[in-house]
């Protein structure tokens, strides 16, 4: 095979079979079915599409979904950073176990997380009981949605920040300290700027994951219209009423939001890599 | 990471306070939900626990989950190796676009993953009329569940293999070919042994996600007890019937699976790191 505009020459066999079969599989499983969403919503007239994606219950669901996802990503940015800091820099008994447990939200099925959190935070649950004394209700309120999304997004910030913190050059810190910087200055002027791109990436990934989350939220939210319904739940509700076009319209909005975030994450990633190489 | 001096840079009270805060956060959001699953499952004793699992609907849910995740893992494994071979071993235009498209299912909400197959194969969908006429059921039946599971676990194997095979280069494969090995021999004798730990890592993540998937499967399943309920769906049905002990009993099986996954993951990460550091230390090997 000669080099051409498409492919550079290689003596290894199997280029066309492997590329062809992967493209076929990708198209059949992912691309063609995904295009159905855009085609289905394109079959709606513009006013119908607009009223489908701006109905009051839908707008209320955007507010809850985006608000709770953002809130959960902020909580995870703060505590995820703290967990990464402790795991990267301190020694304590059982550290390996704690490190492995950070990934539990990736491994535990969302429905299992959903019923466990609901059971803990409902009014006679172990935590809910104690919060009820203070008049705080979590299960079946927007706060419950926030709790579920914190659980789901927990590993992202830890796992993106931890390796960077482990790589921070200790000599840099010693140099700063020997030049008279105090501990806080070393942290805010030396360490934090190095970690910031990874922190932002983890934050954006946790946010993106929370936007689409369904399984852990449906149990704890109680699904009250206008109050605790997230957008993915509305998609399911529309499907159950056979409103396929309406479901596809909402899906288009969600997909566009995810793609914008994904683009943001990729730009951050590229920026972070350049930053690390320049260093 | 080693050497005691640098750990002393934070004063001890600060270290203790930060460690306590981090462990408290993890305890509240990770350890307690996990403990709650097992606590609730065993609340009425072992007998009630076994009765909840040794029950026809639960057993059929376990069988369906194993079937769907088995098919999903095998097909995504085959695809992952083929895609990684094309992407890592050859230079061609549009490669980055292909890599991005492979990751696409991770950016899609599970609910939307289910929705797309309803739009294609559902009774109002593209092929709905034809499928009805030929009495083939995909949505609200097992094929739909398998498809949704394949979609959500699509990238796992490929994304583990691509970076590793790229960093390993083509030298060993080319040497094998020049010594007279055929293409398949090169794949099975040289490439696969070189990537086995990353492959296994991808398969484990893929299996865990496939067995636990809820949103996508829930949209296409129709929740027919004993027929189209996977384990996570069975958990939902039992929970909504206020049969909490049974719901948590089935959930505890999934939680055990998650713990096994975490243990295997930690072990394989250690193995994979070793392969990578060997590559870095000795890039010609």
Residue A279 predicted with pLDDT over 60:
no
Q: Which of B236, B153, B219, B165 is nearest to B196 (CA)?
A: B165
pLDDT at A200: 93
Mean pLDDT of chain B: 90
Residue written as tokens 């498809």? B147
Query: What is chain A's mean pLDDT, rounded?
Result: 90
Q: How confident is the model at residue B282 (pLDDT cuts 50, 70, 90)?
A: low
Of the candidates B161, B196, B198, B175, the residue with the CA atom closest to the CA atom of residue B285: B175
**pLDDT value at A276 more than 80:** no
Chain B residues within 8 A of A98 when measuring between CB atoms:
23, 26
Distances (CA, A) of A33 to A17, A146, B115, B120: 23, 31, 9, 6
DSSP string, A10-75: -S-S-HHHHHHHHHHHHIIIIIHHHHHHHHHHHTS-HHHHHHHHH-HHHHHHHHHHHHHHHHHHHH
pTM of the model: 0.91
Q: Torsion-angle region of residue B92: left (phi > 0), alpha (psi -120 to 50) or beta?
A: beta
Helix or strand (DSSP H, E) at B153 = none
Token pair of B242, please? Answer: 């206020």
Nearest to B214 among A34, A109, A147 (CB): A109
How far is Cα B108 from Cα B157, in angstroms, rounded to an integer? 18
Q: What is the DSSP letter of B170?
A: S
Give the per-residue pLDDT at A8. 82
pLDDT tier, A272 (very low <50, low <70, confident <90, very high otherwise): low
Return the residue of B nearest to A34 by Cα.
B116
Tokens found for residue A76: 């995870």
User: In angstroms, what separates the C-alpha of A117 from chain B's closest C-alpha?
Assistant: 6
CB contact under 8 A, B254 and A85: no
Tokens linked to A220: 């704890």
Cβ-defined contact of B244 to A215 (cutoff 8 Å)? no
Q: Using the beta-carbon criterion (under 8 Å), do B111 and A232 form an inter-chain contact?
A: yes
pLDDT band with cut points at 50, 70 and 90 for residue A263? confident
Q: Would you state the pLDDT for residue B3?
A: 41
Check B214 against A110: CB less than 8 A apart: yes
Of the candidates B37, B36, B30, B35, the one whose C-alpha atom is nearest the C-alpha of residue B251 is: B37
What is the number of H-type helices and E-type strands within chain A? Answer: 15, 0
Distance CA B102, CA B81 (A): 13
What is the pLDDT at residue A262?
82
pLDDT of residue A277 exceeding 60, the answer is no
pLDDT category at B7 given cuts 50, 70, 90 is very low
Q: Which residue has the tokens 């209320």?
A: A60
Res. A194: pLDDT tops 60: yes
Burial B185-209 (b: 16+ CB within 10 A, else e): ebbeebbeebbebbbbbbbbbbbbb
**Two tokens, residue B258:** 């998650």
Select the residue of A33, A105, A111 nearest B214 (Cβ to Cβ). Answer: A111
DSSP reduced 3-state for A191: helix
Say which of B6, B32, B248 has its CB closest to residue A170.
B6
Q: Output the pLDDT for position A215.
A: 93
What mean pLDDT do residues B210-225 have?
A: 91
Q: Quick: pLDDT tens for B59-117.
A: 999 999 999 999 999 999 999 999 999 999 999 998 989 998 998 998 899 999 999 99
In the predicted structure, residue A169 carries a pLDDT above the cut 90: no
Note the pLDDT of residue A274.
Answer: 58
Question: Are A80 and A154 a contacting pair, CB within 8 Å?
Answer: yes
Give the mean pLDDT of A129-136.
93
Mean pLDDT computed over A186-199: 90
Helix ranges (DSSP H) in chain B = 12-26, 32-41, 45-53, 56-89, 95-107, 110-121, 128-133, 142-152, 156-168, 171-178, 183-186, 192-212, 215-221, 231-240, 244-281
Which of A14, A154, A233 comes nearest B29 by C-beta?
A154
Q: Model confidence over A58-117: pLDDT tens digits?
A: 999 999 999 999 999 999 999 999 999 999 999 999 999 999 999 999 999 999 999 999
Kindly tell me if the per-residue pLDDT of B285 is higher than 50.
no
Share of chain B above pLDDT 90, in %: 77
Distances (CA, A) of B150 to A21, A26, A206, B117: 16, 11, 23, 12
pLDDT above 90 for A278: no
ipTM score for this prediction: 0.89
Interface test with B, best of A21, A85, A111, A138 (most B CBs within 10 A): A111
Tokens of residue B19, six digits = 């460690």
Measure in Å the smallest separation between the Cα of B34 and chain A Cα atoms: 7
- B1: pLDDT strictly greater than 70: no
């Amino acid at each position: 095979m000669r080099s051409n505009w498409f492919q550079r020459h290689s003596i290894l066999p199997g280029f066309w079979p492997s590329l062809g079969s992967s493209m076929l599989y990708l198209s059949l499983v992912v691309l063609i079915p995904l295009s159905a969403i855009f085609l289905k919503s394109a079959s709606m007239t513009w006013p119908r599409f607009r009223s489908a994606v701006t109905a009051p219950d839908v707008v209320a669901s955007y507010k809850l979904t985006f608000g709770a996802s953002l809130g959960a990503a902020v909580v995870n940015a703060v505590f995820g950073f703290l967990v990464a800091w402790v795991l990267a820099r301190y020694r304590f008994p059982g550290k390996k176990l704690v490190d492995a447990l950070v990934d539990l939200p990736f491994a535990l099925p969302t429905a299992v997380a959903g019923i466990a959190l609901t059971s803990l935070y409902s009014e006679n649950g172990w935590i809910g009981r104690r919060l009820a004394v203070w008049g705080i209700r979590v299960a079946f309120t927007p706060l419950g949605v926030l709790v579920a999304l914190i659980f789901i997004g927990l590993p992202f910030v830890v796992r993106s920040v931890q390796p960077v913190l482990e790589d921070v050059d200790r000599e840099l810190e010693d140099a700063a300290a020997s030049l008279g910087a105090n501990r806080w200055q070393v942290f805010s002027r030396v360490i934090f700027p190095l970690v910031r791109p990874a922190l932002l990436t983890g934050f954006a990934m946790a946010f993106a994951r929370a936007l689409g989350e369904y399984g852990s939220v449906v149990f704890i939210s109680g699904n009250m219209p206008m109050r605790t319904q997230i957008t993915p739940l509305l998609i399911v509700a529309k499907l159950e009423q056979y409103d396929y076009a309406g479901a596809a319209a909402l899906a288009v909005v969600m997909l566009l939001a995810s793609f914008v975030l994904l683009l943001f994450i990729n730009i951050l990633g590229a920026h972070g890599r350049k930053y690390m190489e320049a260093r | 990471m080693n050497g005691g001096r640098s750990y002393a840079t934070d004063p001890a009270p600060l270290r203790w306070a930060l460690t306590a805060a981090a462990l408290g956060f993890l305890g509240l959001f990770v350890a307690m939900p996990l403990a709650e699953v097992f606590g609730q499952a065993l609340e009425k004793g072992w007998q009630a626990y076994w009765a909840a699992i040794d029950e026809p609907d639960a057993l059929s849910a376990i069988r369906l989950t194993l079937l769907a995740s088995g098919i999903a893992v095998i097909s995504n494994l085959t695809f992952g190796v083929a895609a990684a071979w094309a992407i890592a071993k050859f230079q061609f235009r549009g490669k980055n676009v292909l890599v991005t498209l492979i990751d696409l299912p991770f950016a899609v909400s599970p609910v939307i993953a289910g929705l797309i197959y309803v739009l294609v194969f559902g009774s109002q969908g593209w092929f709905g009329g034809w499928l009805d006429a030929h009495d083939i059921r995909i949505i609200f039946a097992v094929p739909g569940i398998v498809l949704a599971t394949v979609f959500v676990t699509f990238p796992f194997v490929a994304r583990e293999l691509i970076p590793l095979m790229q960093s390993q280069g083509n030298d060993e494969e080319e040497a094998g070919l020049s010594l007279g090995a055929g293409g398949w021999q090169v794949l099975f004798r040289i490439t696969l042994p070189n990537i086995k730990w990353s492959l296994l890592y991808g398969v484990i993540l893929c299996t865990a996600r496939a067995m636990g998937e809820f949103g996508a499967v829930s949209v296409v399943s129709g929740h027919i007890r004993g027929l189209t309920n996977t384990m996570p769906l069975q958990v939902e049905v039992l929970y909504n019937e206020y049969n909490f002990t049974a719901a948590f009993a089935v959930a505890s099986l999934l939680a055990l699976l998650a713990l096994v996954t975490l243990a295997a993951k930690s072990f394989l990460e250690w193995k994979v790191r070793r392969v990578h550091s060997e590559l870095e230390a000795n890039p010609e090997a």
